[in-house]
Amino acid sequence: MRQRTAPPGKVYFVQPIWISLATCGVMLLGAVIGVLLRRWLPDHHLDGHARDIVRLGAGLVGTIAALVLGLLINSASSSYEAQRAEVRQIAANLTLLDAVLDQYGPDAKPVRILLREAVDQMIEGIWHDPKAQARGALYGSGTLASQVYAGLHALPGGTAVTSALATQALQLAVAISQARLALYEQSRSGLPLPILVVLIFWLTVLFASYCLFSPVNPTSAVALVLVALSVAAALFLILEMAKPFSGLMQISSAPILAAVPPLAP
């Protein structure tokens, strides 16, 4: 099977800390460009009319950049919370599924064993091997998930109670699979590259405009560095929340691990 790669145009496997630090460096480079332009341009290019136009334009660009940053933070936070809720829902459904199979009786024990192996594989794929879904290793024919399905369908339904339990178990398994596939797709999401490039360009232009008309002294230089670090920190939060299963803000897999404790011997 030919390996599929991630769609182009999104920021995926570069660490958010490096992207944020690079953004901070580019913004400070913009400030240096503004200082150099202030020295090189003739005085008539830096008169009061040019100052007013640049300041008005910088205000407009700054407003747009602030709005985009706010929308990106809100969108990343909403996606992060939605995926964390999906993880909790999967854990709850796994607990119910295991309880239903436990009530079914000894005939369901092989399925419960397969269920634990499938859960371990799911956790490995989401939290430790994000490229696994691209290889098709976690769902499809012959996987542990399909074996769990086959085991649920093969449960004998001799009585009305066992038939009802088997049906309920299948319904829970379908809900778990839907949530699991949703997590696989959401874990592949990322910040679109054009948005990141345009945002960095806007911020660089802003920093260049800051130093175009005002001389830079130690106090203003420290202020520029702090502002650049603050903006880079906001971008870091956006990129971290866009990758919720890795990094410093990763969603914990503890609820799913606790949902299916080891079987008693």
pLDDT for res 6: 42
Which is it for the CA torsion 48, 50, 55, 56, positive or negative?
A: positive
Read off the pTM: 0.77
Residue ranges of the domains in the chain?
11-259
Mean pLDDT by 10 residues, the chain (265 residues): 41 74 94 87 77 87 92 90 90 91 87 88 74 50 75 80 88 87 72 89 92 84 93 92 84 86 71
Strand pairing of 191-192 and 10-11?
Answer: antiparallel
pLDDT for res 212: 84
pLDDT for res 12: 46
